[in-house]
Chains A and B, each alone.
Chain A
Amino acid sequence: MVENKYFYYLLALNALINIINFVPRILIVNRFHGAIMSILISVVVGSCVLYGVTKLYSRFPGEGLPEILQTIRFPLVAKSILFTFGCFWFSAGAITLVSFVDITNRYIIPDLSPTWILSGFLIIVCLSSRLNTNSILYGLEMLVLLNIPVILYFLVKTLISRSFSWDAVMQVGTYLFEKPNLESVAAATFIFSGYTNLSIFNRVFGKIRLRHFWIVAVFGLSVLLTTFFIPIGYHGTQGVENHFYPWFSTADSIRIELFIIERSLYFFYFIYITLALVSSITHWHVSLQLFQGMLYQKKRRTGVYVSWFIIAAFTCASYSLLSLDQEQLQVVGIGFLESRFVVELMFPALLLYVLHRRSSYGK
């Protein structure tokens, strides 16, 4: 059993990685069409679902989703649920990886073909996602703690810079009362959905106790506001839409006058490559365990070859995602964010059903 604090690292990871998974892009495209209202709504919805589901999981100490779902009467239903969830987590990791390949190719090594960059990433991610659940949490802690100070430095640097236009931020702020839309709400709730990883990580947690829960909501709100407004402050209310990765363009617009490297993009990239990889590792680990749980529902022990087989399938699917162009990748990313949101909203019902069955039939 690990301590409670690791749960918060899982939350922080999703909150930090959102800038790669198209969240700011979607919010910025909708900036005049209800993005701000959507952010406010998503803070309420996201933190409520987070709170509810975490409470429900604490009723199943030490059990992951494959074990919980054994209570369902029809194994086929349980298996198909596990399969769907496995696919979700796979795509979460794959989208992060593929967009990061795109970013690397654009800003760092334009000469190298995307296939090779992806291969490099896949070696790390595939090998690491087979690690045991505890080790992944420890690694996650290390990387999140190392990166947070540098990210804070960036945030302070962007906000106190003279180039930051508060007028642009306020101009977008006047569009507060526009009607919110599903796309933006789905995107914005993504930063709260770190808790979904509990479907496997719950195996190593005992009873999770949520203390000072309001901090999570406040943290979520401030992450969303910075995600959304800082690129606007740098690229203007109109120009910001021309940037496909608004945060990388923003990092490129900040000069570090008194340091060895002037172009802060490289620092930013370095932080985010670690976060992107650890996020993919976490997601693929969950996905892998879910698929294994689907195949071996009775016993937790699994064959080595099966896990390699699943990873090979992941690899092939990731390579096929590479052939998408920017627009198609964005469609896939948005599709993922939206369907994930719908499933997340329905998920508590599943857990309640299992709880109900257990209490009425005994374990």
Chain B
Amino acid sequence: MANKKTIIALACCVFLLGSCGFKDIDKRLFVVAIGFDQSKTSYDKLLIHLKIAIPKGDPRSINQEFDVVTVESKTIAEALRRAKSMVDKELDYGHTKILVVGEKIARTNIKQIADWSSRRRDVQLIAVLTVGKPSALDVIKLKPRTERVPGNAIFLALTKDGTESPFINPEYVFDFNRRLTEVGMDPYLPIIQVNKDKYDISTVALLNKEKVVMTLNPDESRLFNLLRGKEKMRTNLTVRTDSNTYELNIDHTSAKYSIESGNGRTTIKYAIKLRGALEEKVSVEETSYRQQKEIEAAGEEALNKQVEALLRKFQDHHVDPLGFGLHYYARHWNNQTKTEQWKKIYDNVKFEANSNIKLKYSEFIM
């Protein structure tokens, strides 16, 4: 009896193998990145660029070879099917980890792409989403000399698996889609600025529920990274006193906020803690302990001002990338009215930053 069963089971397995639509790995092409640009000829059409990696047998050899297939179409789905007839093997999106949106589209409507990326099952929800400047194609075509696998450089940078830059604010597809739908929290995207064959990811685009409404310069991006309080962050901090300019090496940061209302006015209070050491002085002279305290105080004051200015900028543009709204909703029980209430509050909310900088050492050379 047992023998019979095994035979039947094996026979069925053979059937399964023969009839499924499975393609062997040497009959597949792996798309590592997809770029989206606006068509130059027609306003409502997209240019979709597929970056296809060309695999090599030897894993130790450096392989930067890739091919880019570009299709013009109104929809992404159509473009991917059209691309199938431009290549020899089956296109596989299981390794698509980078989605680049051209700046033009990001400034008009990003919803279509965001929805597609979460709906399409083989595009991972942990793929990274970025804005390409001046266009997505520039990012797709990028070939940094340090890269070992096509498309890997940008992925390493954007996930912080590789470089840990304080200017990079990583964004994944699942998080972007959450922010796009969430009430009281707005999305952001890191911008990759391409200059010939070099790139720089130090600016951030802030979006409302539809498109980019403002961009942050590198300083603001770093502050934004600090204020999100999500990442482990190592950065420098420039402090100017009357007599000298100092650079601090910050190796520990934390940022928390609370929303407090009183006297008819609501205040968002940020508590920021920075721990670090003195790294550089512009004019080299000895620093006493008293001066060290002065540096801390000057740094705190400057940081408070910068933070408050940045938060006011968010407020002026009616965006909420830090999720103050959600924070407010999470702590108020009047479910019918709180959304309307917050909209009114956020327009004239006051910001108060309270930073605390502590230098562990200033004078000793390690």
Q: Is the pairing of A and B real?
A: yes
Any B CB within 8 A of the CB of A132:
no
Interface string of B161-187 (1 = CB under 8 A from A): 100000000001011011111111100
Q: Which parts of B15-71 form the interface with A (CB within 8 Å)?
A: 16, 19-23
A234 contacts B174, C-beta separation under 8 Å: yes
Residue of A nearest to B182 (CB): A236
14 A-B pairs whose Cβ atoms sit less than 8 Å apart in the complex: A116-B19, A167-B329, A170-B330, A174-B330, A236-B178, A236-B181, A236-B182, A238-B182, A239-B177, A239-B180, A242-B118, A253-B175, A255-B126, A263-B124
Q: A113-B20, A252-B174, A255-B172 are in contact. List 6 more A-B contacts (CB 8 A).
A: A123-B8, A168-B182, A171-B330, A234-B174, A249-B125, A249-B174
- Which of B178, B180, B183, B330 has most A Cβ within 10 Å? B178
Does residue A175 face the partner (Cβ distance < 8 Å to B)? yes
CA of A196 to CA of B362 in the docked complex: distance in angstroms?
70
A126 to B20, CA, bound (A): 22
Contacting B at CB under 8 A, from A242-272, are 242, 249, 252-255, 257, 262-263, 265
What chain B residues lie within 8 Å of A113 (beta carbons)?
Answer: 20-21
Contact A239 B182 (CB under 8 A): yes
The answer to whether residues A238 and B118 also contact, given A116-B19, A162-B231 and a CB cut-off of 8 A, is no
Decide yes or no whether B122 CB sits under 8 A from chain A.
yes
Which residues on A sit within 8 Å (CB–CB) of B184?
Answer: 171
Q: Are A165 and B326 in contact (CB under 8 A)?
A: yes
Option from B23, B172, B329 in Cβ contact (under 8 Å) with A253: B172
Q: Which of A32, A106, A162, A174 neighbours the largest number of chain B CB atoms within 10 Å of its CB?
A: A174
Cβ of B327 under 8 Å from chain A? yes
Pick the contact of B124: A106, A109, A166, A252 (CB < 8 A): A252
User: Nearest residue in A to B331 (C-beta to C-beta)?
Assistant: A170
Q: Is the CB of A167 within 8 A of B126?
A: no
Q: How far is the CA of A113 from the CA of B177 in the complex (A)?
A: 30
- The residues of B with any CB-CB pair to A shorter than 8 Å are 5, 8-9, 12-13, 16, 19-23, 118, 121-122, 124-126, 159, 161, 172, 174-175, 177-185, 230-231, 323, 326-327, 329-333, 335
A237 at the interface (CB under 8 A from B): yes
Q: B326 contacts A167, CB within 8 Å?
A: yes
Q: Which of B22, B175, B185, B332 contacts A174 (CB 8 A)?
A: B332
Smallest distance from the beta carbon of A56 to chain B beta carbons, Å?
Answer: 38
Chain B minimum-CB-distance residue to A161: B230
B174 touches A238 (CB 8 A): no
**Listed residue (B22, B125, B185) with the most chain A CB atoms within 10 angstroms of its CB:** B125
Interchain CA distance A32-B181 in the complex, whole Å: 15
Task: Give A172 Cβ to nearest chain B Cβ, in Å.
Answer: 9
A251 CB → nearest B CB, Å: 9
| Cα–Cα distance between A107 and B172 once the two chains are bound (Å) | 18
CB <8 Å contact, A235 and B20: no
Q: Chain A nearest CB: distance from B45 CB in Å?
A: 26
Chain A interface size band reads: 35 or more
Determine whether the beta carbon of A123 is less than 8 Å from that of B12: yes
| Interface membership of A163, Cβ < 8 A | yes
| A325, CB-defined interface residue at 8 Å | no
A210-230 contact mask (Cβ, 8 Å, vs B): 1 or 0? 000000000000000000000
Cα–Cα distance between A255 and B128 once the two chains are bound (Å): 12
Q: Nearest Cβ distance between residue B12 and chain A, in whole angstroms?
A: 6
Nearest-Cβ distance from residue A186 to partner chain B, whole angstroms: 24
Q: Are B329 and A171 in contact (CB under 8 A)?
A: yes
Chain B residues with Cβ below 8 Å from A116 are 16, 19-20
Which A residues are CB-close (under 8 A) to B19?
116
CB-nearest residue of chain A relative to B323? Answer: A167
Complex Cα distance, B323 from A123, in Å, reads 50
Shortest CB distance A154–B (Å): 15
A163 with B175: in contact, given A127-B5, A238-B183, A239-B181 (CB under 8 Å)? Answer: yes
Q: Does A112 contact B (CB under 8 A)?
A: yes
A111-B180 Cα distance, complex, nearest whole Å = 31
Within 8 A of B (CB), among A180-207: none
**Does A173 reach chain B (CB closer than 8 Å)?**
yes
Are A235 and B177 in contact, with the CB atoms below 8 A? yes
* A106-B121 CB under 8 A given contacts A113-B20, A167-B327, A174-B333: yes
The listed residue with most B CB atoms (<10 A of its CB), out of A107, A171, A265, is: A171
| A52 contacts partner chain B, Cβ-Cβ < 8 Å | no
Residues from chain A with a CB closer than 8 A to the CB of B126 are: 252-255, 262-263
A169 to B329: give the CA distance in the assembly, Å: 11
State the Cβ distance, A327 to closest chain B Cβ, in Å: 16
Whether A335 is near chain B, meaning CB under 8 Å from some CB there, is no
Q: Which residue on chain A has the smallest CB distance to residue B94? A: A263
A-B pairs with the 7 shortest C-beta distances?
A: A111-B21, A170-B330, A236-B178, A239-B181, A253-B174, A236-B182, A238-B181
Contact with B along A87-119 (1 / 0, CB 8 A): 000000000000000000011011111001001
- Minimum C-beta distance from B228 to chain A (A): 9
B16 CB contacts on chain A under 8 angstroms? 116, 119-120
